[in-house]
Amino acid sequence: MNAWEIICIVLNLAGALAVFLFAMKLMSEGLQKFAGSKMRHILTKITGNRWMGILTGTAVTAAIQSSSATTVMVVSFVNAGLVSLAGAVAVIMGANIGTTVTAWIISLFSLGEGGSTFSLPMLLAAASLFFIFSGKDRMKSIGQSIIGLALLLVGMDLLQQPMSNLDQYPGFLHFLATLSDFGFWSILLFIVIGAVLTCVVQASAAMMAITLVMCYNNWISFDVAVALVMGQNIGTTITANLAAMVTNNAGKKAARAHLVFNVVGVIITLFLFRPIMNFIQWVFPTDVAMGISLFHTIFNVGNTIILSFFIPQILKIVDWMVPDKKEDSEEEFRLTYIEPTLLSTAELNLQSAKSEIEEFSKRVMRMYTFLPGLRTAKSEEEFEGIMERISKYEGITDRMELEITKFLTRVGSGDVSEHASQRISSMLRIIDNLESIGDAIYQIAMTRKNKREDAVHFDQNLNDNLSRMSALVQQALDVMDANLHDYDHIDLDAAYAAEEAINSYRDQLRAQHLDALKLGIYDYAIGNAYSSLYALYEKLGDYVINVSEAIDNSRKKADNDTDVKN
């Protein structure tokens, strides 16, 4: 084998692998777009029942054909507090079972001469969906998935072509045979090789395809192929762990749990290695590809059944691996749920944005609670301390609006559905009004500060009036915050009732204020500070109702889209 022949084989393999990886990505993203919010809804409704979590993880991964996508989703949901850590571990176990479907597809339809037979009819069917249902996002997503599956078969066919000629080069086969001559140590060696290669490629399905082709052409023994498969199960955890690098401790623990589960699963399988091999060779004595697929299924199903009873112990291990640390001060700016890199579909990115917006609301609500302290501060030092905190929060709200806006703009610039685009517009309006609430709170604080510096004092009646106005705004904020947690079941009537109460009381205070000025009950300086404060509270209430209206607008558009599709 000369250098040119080696280069040609490597380039052909790389090209075939690129087609295969692109096909997997295309198919997975199409299925995720088709599943959309339903997939997210299913995952976020997981309870503490481990079997339900396992079934959910299996079904979702089998549907979207990507265990990495499922585990990354689960890590982000744990990070967002939408899924418990125990529930996440159960889903990850199920994801390992769901990913075995890929191996069966390759074994049944891709090896030998069968792959190219199905690919062209699939492409024709997908093209028909694009032309006939050009205006329907869900049908286009199905078409994208079919194109991905067709290209996957083409990729497998391309992968087999350069590898089918490797048996002409005895040096290569001798090298593989040498690595296989160390008995049990060879099994461990190929587990490491499988893990490392999967980490590099970041696609266990691609490594599974290569393993099946190599074993199908008798370049590696069945035992070596099985060892590679075990290594791939370890290597595939790298994706979730990379995603968890920017998450909180809970997200990191979910990713580590995936690693622990697969490593412990490999150890268990090594103890039962020979009995499992004997069983598989009894079921498929000659069909090695089917045998590998069966092993992959036995490995993941068996380990899930065994380790599902040890989820508490797995959680203790990950607690040791990722010790809890003192969280950064809540008064330091940080994005909790939005990650630097976009997830594969708009729906998942919007879930992260929604969680970040909820955090934004919590910051604004917290900022509002500082205001009463400005009136009751007993010393200049205490007053300045509260002003400093409000000023710091105002800066945080500005930066949160900027970062979330940048994130949503990046999401919207990609391939998004009409529903996702409309939801992005609503979210942009929400964060704009949340930032305006922060500005209004800061303006109220500055009015209080100016009043203090000018030695302007309110009597008990004026203070009581402002306290009641503050309480009405607090009620409106509480309704807004509740609505932000569930876009599908917002209480718009309560939001309008709270807004009406604020406006009505503002009108009452304004009428009383004008009468007091006519009667000379208080001077201009007091009247100016007083009217400025209740007007600012009412203005704050306007921003609050805008948030709920933006949520309702997003929901109505989603409902209209559903009605049109139906």
Type of residue found at 173: L
From CA 290, how far away is CA 56, in angstroms rounded?
Answer: 26
The first and second tokens of residue 464, run together, are: 């009581």
From CA 390, how far away is CA 378, in angstroms rounded?
Answer: 18
Over residues 503-561, the pLDDT tens digits come to 999 999 999 999 998 888 988 889 999 999 999 999 999 999 999 999 887 555 545 54
In a 10 Å sphere around its CB, with 0-12 CB exposed, 13-18 middle and 19+ buried, how is residue 71 labelled? buried
Cα dihedral angle (226, 232, 233, 235), rounded to 10 degrees?
150
* CATH 1.20.58.220 domain extents, the chain: 346-565
Of the candidates 68, 66, 98, 77, the one whose C-alpha atom is nearest the C-alpha of residue 258 is 68
Let me know how long the chain is: 566
> 12-21, 137-146, 424-433 — which one is most confidently predicted on average?
424-433
Over residues 234-270, the pLDDT tens digits come to 988 876 777 677 666 777 888 898 899 999 999 999 9
Under a CB-based contact definition with an 8 Å cutoff, are residues 92 and 50 in contact? no
From CA 366, how far away is CA 355, in angstroms rounded?
Answer: 17
The first and second tokens of residue 425, run together, are: 């517009």
* H-assigned helices in 45-163: 50-64, 67-79, 85-98, 100-105, 115-132, 137-163
Specify the CATH number for 346-565; select among 2.60.120.10, 3.40.50.1580, 1.10.3720.10, 1.20.58.220. 1.20.58.220
From CA 271, how far away is CA 258, in angstroms rounded?
Answer: 21
pLDDT of res. 565: 43
Token pair 């909820």: residue = 358
Over residues 446-494, the pLDDT tens digits come to 999 999 998 889 999 999 999 999 999 999 999 999 998 877 778 899 9
CB neighbourhood size of 84 (10 A): 17
From CA 469, how far away is CA 435, in angstroms rounded?
Answer: 21
CB neighbourhood size of 27 (10 A): 24
Higher pLDDT, 154 or 189: 189
